[in-house]
């Protein structure tokens, strides 16, 4: 390795703690500098001396054991790490970190670090599937922390299912891959650029059981966010309600209504280099939102609607250095409506698609698009997968960046 990368291995208290020993050993042998934190519970399964011997480094177990008066140990350790690997990560530790609890050496250090974090969960299958644990893991994913999925099989508790800590080789490969990606990011075309993508539908509440929405699945926006991340960008995904998996390494902001999407998008806008507004945002929202379920009374029900704030127009009015891309989902006169949106909303490019066409509508895995840019150029594309379309869109954006 060109330079020694610094790995902080955080070991929490589960039977899988024994697997952390070969991980520490192999990482050290691979040329990494490795330091280890053990929780009090982890020490019931494996001793600090084991890791001290394998890493040639002191092992950290107590927040209040300050070995050097000139530093605060958990802050120094947090600043030292290039990458943190939590293996195994118990439900307890995941819960603490997701909720900002810092009551031991591991949690105080992890809440203080600015390094990226890889989390390798290990626990009983029922614990792993518990809604509270799932929510905590989702919270950490929102923070940008990445997960190394546990394996399925016979667990130490006797249950069979998902919850076994990934094997040492898998954990080591995850570390290798992380640094490989970081190295590639330094030469990737969007390295150092901030990209914000909006995706999915919004929901406009009418009463506690009813809302207005649309058919957007979010697939196109998620594909763009994923492609931008692979090109080295720092990506923020502002997403309405979808069932899609968040692309790895992408910061996510979840919203429900058009108002929430407006507020969240505007709050991130100034810092962005590229903004691609792919979300299908409601144009209207109910004037009256009923606090209780509206009961059936008459043969008809008239609902008064009011316009929502136009997110894309607001972004165009606030545009400074950003490249701003919008989407136009139409069912007729695609080129004319797309050109009109480009001018009215002060955009750099509009991606238009006819959602009435087979294979190009909401929810499909493909898209047939036309890209119209501010310079007047028009580029139609045949039906592509949404991943292919995402790459083509970003290619056009990168061309605009060169000018």
Strand order in the sheet with 251-254: 251-254, 234-239, 194-199, 274-277, 323-330, 349-354, 369-373, 378-380
**Is 293 annotated to bind ligand?**
yes
Helix (H, G, I), strand (E, B) or coil at 386: helix
d(CA 297, CA 76): 67
Which segments of 93-221 are extended strands (E)?
A: 116-121, 146-147, 151-154, 160-164, 194-199, 204-207, 210-212
**Is 341 annotated to bind ligand?**
yes
Q: Let me know if 157 is a catalytic residue.
A: yes
Q: Helices in 186-257 by DSSP H: which ranges?
A: 219-230
CA Rg value for the chain:
25
Q: Of 132, 157, 160, 378, which one is the catalytic site residue?
A: 157
**Is 193 annotated to bind ligand?**
no
Cβ(367)–Cβ(384) under 8 Å?
Answer: yes
d(CA 251, CA 387): 19
d(CA 223, CA 247): 8
Annotated binding site: 283, 293, 327, 341, 345
Annotated binding site for CTP: 283, 293, 327, 341, 345
Query: Hey, which residues are catalytic here?
Result: 157
């Amino acid at each position: 390795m060109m330079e020694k990368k610094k790995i902080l291995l955080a070991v929490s208290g589960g039977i899988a703690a024994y697997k952390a020993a070969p991980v520490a050993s192999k990482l050290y042998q691979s040329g990494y500098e490795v330091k280890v934190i053990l929780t009090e519970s982890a020490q019931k399964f494996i001793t600090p001396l084991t890791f001290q011997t394998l890493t040639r480094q002191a092992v950290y177990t107590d927040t209040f054991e300050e070995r050097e008066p000139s530093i605060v140990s958990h802050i120094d350790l947090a600043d030292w790490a290039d990458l943190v690997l939590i293996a195994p990560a118990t439900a307890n530790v995941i819960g603490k970190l997701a909720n900002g609890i810092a009551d031991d050496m591991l949690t105080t250090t992890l809440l203080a670090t600015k390094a990226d974090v890889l989390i390798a969960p290990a626990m009983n299958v029922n614990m792993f599937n518990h809604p509270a644990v799932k929510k905590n893991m989702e919270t950490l994913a929102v923070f940008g922390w990445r997960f190394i999925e546990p394996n399925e099989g016979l667990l130490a508790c006797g249950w069979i299912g998902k919850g076994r800590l990934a094997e040492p080789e898998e954990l080591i490969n995850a570390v290798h891959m992380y640094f490989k990606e970081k190295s590639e990011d330094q030469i990737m075309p969007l390295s150092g650029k901030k990209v914000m993508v909006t995706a999915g539908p919004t929901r406009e509440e009418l009463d506690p059981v009813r809302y207005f929405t649309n058919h957007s699945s979010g697939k196109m926006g998620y594909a763009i966010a994923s492609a931008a991340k692979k090109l080295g960008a720092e990506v923020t995904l502002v997403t309405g309600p979808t069932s899609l998996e968040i692309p790895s390494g992408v910061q996510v902001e979840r919203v429900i209504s058009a108002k929430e999407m407006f507020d969240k998008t505007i709050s991130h806008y100034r810092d962005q280099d590229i903004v691609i507004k792919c979300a299908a945002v409601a144009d209207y929202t109910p004037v009256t939102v009923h606090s209780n379920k509206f009961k059936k009374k008459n043969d008809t029900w008239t609902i008064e609607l009011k316009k929502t704030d136009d997110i894309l127009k607001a972004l165009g009015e606030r545009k400074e250095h950003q490249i701003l891309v919008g989407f136009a989902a139409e069912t007729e006169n695609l080129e004319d409506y797309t050109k009109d949106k480009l001018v009215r909303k002060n955009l750099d490019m509009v991606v238009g698609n006819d959602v009435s066409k087979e294979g190009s509508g909401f929810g499909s895995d493909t898209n047939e698009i036309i890209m119209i840019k501010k310079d007047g150029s028009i580029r139609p594309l045949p039906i592509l997968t949404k991943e292919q379309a995402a790459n083509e869109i970003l290619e056009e954006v990168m061309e605009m960046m060169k000018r």
